[in-house]
Structure 1
Amino acid sequence: MADTESQQSKINIVCMDGSGEAENAFKWYIKNVHNNNSYVIIVHCVDHRKLNTFGSIWEPSDHGLIMLAYKEEEKRADKKVEQLQQTLNASGVKGEVVKSSGEPGPTVIGIAKDRKANMILTGCRGLGTIRRTFLGSVSDYIMHHSEVPVLICRH
């Protein structure tokens, strides 16, 4: 039975937001965790909430500006997904890039659950306690809500 289990592909989620920390985490994953039975799903999550925050420059009554900002954000995300796909191809590993929208933590957890992932890997920006308390931390959320093992790469 152990032989058939080792033959099955392991699905590993790697969170990539375009930061240097995420890129370092991916490199660490390739060097230390990845093997021929691994299938990598790079998740890039577009979080539009920052465009609607209280006190932002967007006036609630100007829906045209808000839609323009959303479209620009989507363009940037599509470009990042293209770059991530190139990174994945260059690494020579089997996998895909998934672009999603929403709050990153719950979105990653949902994708991991839907795809029956074996683990989640994420980088960590190293926010201090106060900043993490007010801003939240995606890696912190994933660590506390995941049903599968989570690797958090710092620095």
Structure 2
Amino acid sequence: MAQPHKMNLPIIVPIDDSEYSYHALKYAIEFAEKMDAKVIVLNVQPNIQTVNVQRFFSKEEIKEYSLGIGKEILDKTDVLTTDRNVSIEKVIRIGIPKVEICSVAKEFKAHSIVMGSRGLGPIRGTVLGSVSYGVLHEAPCPVTIVP
């Protein structure tokens, strides 16, 4: 039986604490184990550095808060990633989710992006979430949508 081809390029998995994103992570880990690939688990926090928020908090406090929320979400993935035969890297970005997801994919020269069909966005009833839809159209690599 032929050995699977080793893949040096990472798989990006955006996590937003939705059930759909955890399904995508499970799928990506199983794929990565078979292909000997790395998984980059990505959380994108919205940029809340508005004039009104900055009236009450410093830019550094706002950034620390956003990074703290991102870390909490990424820490929840430990249940799925611990004791797996795959390299996992966690990344937090602040900005517009579809833009940051595509930016990270370019930065890391990703093999692919694996993401849930819907997230925790304001429109939950759509067939395909707006972030997933945006990434499909802007991604520099193949995108797999996991229901």
Using structure 2 for the length normalisation, give the TM-score.
0.75
| Bigger Cα displacement from structure 2, 142-151 vs 72-81 | 72-81
Amino acid at match of 1:63: R
The equivalent of 1:23 in structure 2 is 22
> Would you say the 8 A contact 2:28–2:39 is kept in 1?
no
Amino acid at match of 2:110: A
The counterpart of 2:55, out of the listed 50, 63, 70, is 63
Cα distance between partner residues in 1 of 2:37 and 2:115: 16
Q: Which has the larger radius of gyration?
A: 1
What RMSD in Å do the two structures reach over aligned CA positions?
Answer: 3.1
Moved over 6 A (4+): 66-69
Amino acid at match of 2:15: M
Structure 2 unaligned blocks of 5 or more:
none
Using structure 1 for the length normalisation, give the TM-score.
0.72
Structure 1 residue 139 corresponds to structure 2 residue 116: no
Cα distance between partner residues in 1 of 2:63 and 2:140: 32
The equivalent of 2:47 in structure 1 is 48
The 1:114/1:96 distance shift into structure 2, 3 A limit, reads same
Give 1:18 deviation, angstroms. 1.2
Identity over the aligned pairs, expressed in percent?
A: 23
> Size of the alignment, in residue pairs?
139
Structure 1 residue 109 corresponds to structure 2 residue 102: yes
Cα distance between partner residues in 1 of 2:20 and 2:101: 17
